[in-house]
A and B are shown apart, each in its own frame.
Chain A
Amino acid sequence: MTTLDILLNVLVSGVLFGSIYAVVALGLAITFGILHIPNIAHPALVIMGGYFVVQANRLGIDPLIAAALGIIPFYLLGMLLYTFYANSFERRGRAEVLQSLTLFFGLSLVIEIFLVLLFGSELQSVSAPYIGTSLKFGQIAIPGRLLVPALLGPVTIGLLWLYFKYTNSGTAIRAVAHDERALSIAGLDPAAVKRRAFGLATATAVIGGTALVLIGPIDPFGGRFQIGRVFAIVVLAGMGSIPGTLVVAIMLGIAESLVSSYLNPAWSPGVAFAILLAALALRPQGLFGAAR
């Protein structure tokens, strides 16, 4: 293999991992980016989604079909979570950042331990026909266990983008982020719109979980390693920009892939945060956000 081939391989795997990060970060782009709810339990919900797929796979269901089946229960779970959140905070008139962050921090611990108690703390994996295969283009090999989850990213993001852009309920969600009072004057209940958005965000967790469990086995605490990365992506994308999430996630994937191939794999967990800290200091509105 020439140097160029290695570089190309590194870039391709960066793009693939980036697309997967995008689908994991997507729910947070909605809750945090659009609704301004700092849902740090999202990565834990993603792992929970992964466990749902693992259990369905045990019954012989393909992971992708399991993901489709999981969307409805996770949507309902998200609506339930939002109702609890709103009853605790927004009815009191003000949702203090400290308290809502702590609530979701506690929630993510409860989810993790819940998974440990139900399924044990060992690694869980799925099986599907495309996991062992790989596609070859000259010197570049794309394993199926990366390609399939990487395709979930652009597809989910594309569908969501169409939903936000062209449907009435999608427009309502964008409107609630913009001006809640104007929305209620227009005759819509902001709480109901937000509940729906939170449900949607939680539903994406099961797709993110599918992506993660296809790459490799997961354990109940896997979400912790994603917290930094997903926040970095959402903030860098510029709060609430859905296509920005995909672009930034791919950029981050490439950066991590370059660092781990040319420097040392042990440095790559720090990459997302180093980029995030630099971005917060230099351009707090994000790469794709409007300057405030």
Chain B
Amino acid sequence: MTRDSKIFLIAAVAVLLAGLLAPHVLKNPFYFFAGYVILQYVVIATGWNILGGYAGYINFGAAGFFGAGAYASAFLFNTFGIPLLGGLVAACLIGALLGVLMGYLTLRIQGVYFAIATLGLVIILETIIHNIPALGGARGIVVYGPPPPAWAAGPSQYMFFLMLLIAVASVSLARWMQISWVGRGLRAVRASENAAECSGVPTLRLKLLACAASGAVLAAAGAPYPFYTSFVEPVTVFSLLIGLNAIAMPLIGGTRTWLGPVIGALLMASTQQIATITISSELNILFVGIVLIAFVALAPNGILGLVARRSRETPR
């Protein structure tokens, strides 16, 4: 294990411990209620970045995977009484499957076409859910989750810790994919797909792997959602705002490394939480739009790109 990996492991354990101890310090459950959403976006941004950042394939359909995960866990719980952890595993499998399916359909086409096709995935999934009575159609489904276990301080605190676990697991997966042979291959794909193919990089297999991992993480972000809100309906889980944030957050943080989406999500999601409470949800969307345009036009490599440029310019 390298020195960096040791630091990462210690940091991950420290974050989890802090999450476990936090309810004893912060008594107001609202912090955990809001924190859940922020962590959810850390997972979404991280999942999106595996395919979008490392391989350079832009997925507009993050909400499709998120919604599929949410519906999977809600359906399994309501129909078969399968608890959330089982639903989480099922959501990951469905997300990975959807990812591979999407990959097979669309990876032969590149760039813009891929992006448009992924936008289609959301609409098709939303239409399907609307038309299946067993999944509640347009009315949605109500989920009465079990009470939280005794060690948790309350339902919000429990859901918060669960999302923290998912976030740490997702970030670890994204970090592993970045520093291993997978990440090297995907970087080659991103730089030049033809050159990579010619040098013997198994591009199609790597891209399918990235699709599967990205899909699984995005669906995992959605799986606890029905238990968090006690309710799922197509319009919210397939919302454009999820797809937008999934792209905006990594782009603002920086797409080259696992840290970029984490920074972007923490910054953007907390600002949005504050903006939604204190101002209005319309201005919140306006804010995301303007920040997005500014970053794309002025700092295309995100915050981490700015930091890297600054440290290159000042000789040490």
What residues make up the interface of A, taking CB atoms closer than 8 Å to B? Answer: 32, 38, 84, 88, 92, 96-103, 105-110, 112-114, 116-117, 224, 227-228, 231-232, 235, 264, 266-267, 269-270, 272-274, 276-277, 280-281, 284
Could you tell me which residues of chain B, from 92 to 122, have a CB within 8 Å of some CB in chain A? 105-106, 108-109, 111-113, 115-117, 119-121
Q: Name, among B120, B247, B285, the residue most crowded by chain A CB atoms within 10 Å (CB to CB).
A: B120
Residue of B244, B285, B289 touching A107 (CB-CB under 8 A)? B289
The size of the chain B interface, using a CB distance under 8 A, is: 43
| Interface of chain B residues 247 through 274 with chain A (CB within 8 A) | 247-248, 251, 255
Which of A106, A117, A269 contacts B292, CB < 8 Å?
A106
Is B85 positioned at the interface, with any CB of A under 8 Å from its CB? no
B residues less than 8 Å from A232 (CB atoms): 120
18 contacts between A and B (CB under 8 A): A38-B115, A98-B52, A98-B251, A98-B255, A102-B296, A106-B290, A109-B286, A109-B292, A110-B286, A113-B283, A227-B119, A231-B116, A270-B123, A274-B120, A276-B120, A280-B106, A281-B105, A284-B113
Q: How far is B300's CA from A88's CA once the two chains are assembled, in angstroms?
A: 10
Distance in angstroms between the alpha carbons of A109 and B244 in the assembled complex:
10
B90 at the interface (CB under 8 A from A): no
Compute how far the CA of A120 lies from the CA of B63 in the bound complex, rounded to whole angstroms.
Answer: 26
Q: Which residues of B contact A (CB under 8 A)?
A: 52, 56, 58, 60, 105-106, 108-109, 111-113, 115-117, 119-121, 123-124, 126-128, 130-131, 138, 240, 244, 247-248, 251, 255, 282-283, 285-286, 288-290, 292-293, 296-297, 300
* Cα-based distance from A274 to B290 in the complex (angstroms): 32
Cβ-defined contact, A113 with B124, below 8 A: no
Give the shortest distance, in Å, between B107 (CB) and chain A (any CB): 10
Identify whether the interface residues of B are mostly helix, strand, loop, or mixed.
helix
> Contacts of A106 on B, CB cut-off 8 Å?
248, 288-290, 292-293, 296
B120 adjacent to A88 (CB under 8 Å): no
Beta-carbon contact of B112 and A266 below 8 Å: no
A230 CB to closest chain B CB (Å) equals 10
Query: Are A102 and B286 in contact, CB atoms less than 8 angstroms apart?
Result: no
Q: In chain B, what residue has the closest Cβ to A227?
A: B119
Cβ contacts under 8 Å, B130 to chain A: 266
* Choice from A116, A224, A280 contacting B109 with Cβ under 8 Å: A280
> Would you call B123 and A273 a contact (CB within 8 A)?
yes
The number of A-B residue pairs with CB atoms under 8 Å apart is 119
When chains A and B are docked, how far (Å) is the Cα of A103 from the Cα of B295?
9
Q: List the A side residues contacting B285 at CB < 8 Å.
A: 109, 112-113
User: Once bound together, how far apart are the Cα atoms of A105 and B118, in whole Å?
Assistant: 14
Contacts of B109 in A (CB 8 A): 280, 284
Q: How far is the CA of A112 from the CA of B285 in the complex (A)?
A: 9
Shortest CB-to-CB span from A289 to chain B, Å, is 12
Q: B288 — which chain A residues lie within 8 A by C-beta?
A: 106, 109
Chain B residues with Cβ below 8 Å from A84 are 297
A235-B113 Cα distance, complex, nearest whole Å: 8
Residues of the B chain whose Cβ atoms lie less than 8 Å from the Cβ of A266: 127, 130-131, 138
Q: Which of A99, A103, A105, A276 contacts B116 (CB 8 A)?
A: A276
Q: Which of A98, A103, A224, A273 contacts B124 (CB 8 A)?
A: A273
Q: Which residues of A contact B124 (CB under 8 A)?
A: 270, 273-274, 277
User: Which residue of chain A is the closest to B288 with respect to CB atoms?
Assistant: A109
Contacts beyond the supplied A106-B290, A276-B117: 9 A-B pairs with Cβ under 8 Å: A99-B251, A102-B247, A107-B293, A117-B282, A266-B127, A270-B124, A273-B124, A281-B106, A284-B109
Using known A-B contacts A88-B296, A274-B124, determine if residue A110 contacts B289 with beta carbons closer than 8 Å. yes
Please, which residues of chain A bring their CB within 8 A of the CB of B126?
Answer: 269
- Of all A-B residue pairs in the complex, the 5 with the closest CB atoms, nearest first, are A273-B120, A109-B289, A270-B127, A106-B292, A88-B297
Q: Find A103's partner among B58, B120, B283, B296 (CB 8 Å cutoff).
A: B296
Interface centre among B138, B255, B286, B290 (most CB of A within 10 A): B286
CA distance in complex: A92, B298 (Å): 11
Report chain A residues within 8 Å CB of B108.
Answer: 281, 284
- What residues of B have a CB within 8 angstroms of the CB of A103 in the complex? 292-293, 296-297
Interchain CB contact (< 8 A) of A113 among B56, B121, B255, B282: B282
Give the chain B neighbours of A92 by CB distance below 8 A.
300
B138 partner residues in chain A, CB cutoff 8 A: 266
Question: By the criterion CB–CB under 8 Å, are B292 and A113 in contact?
Answer: no
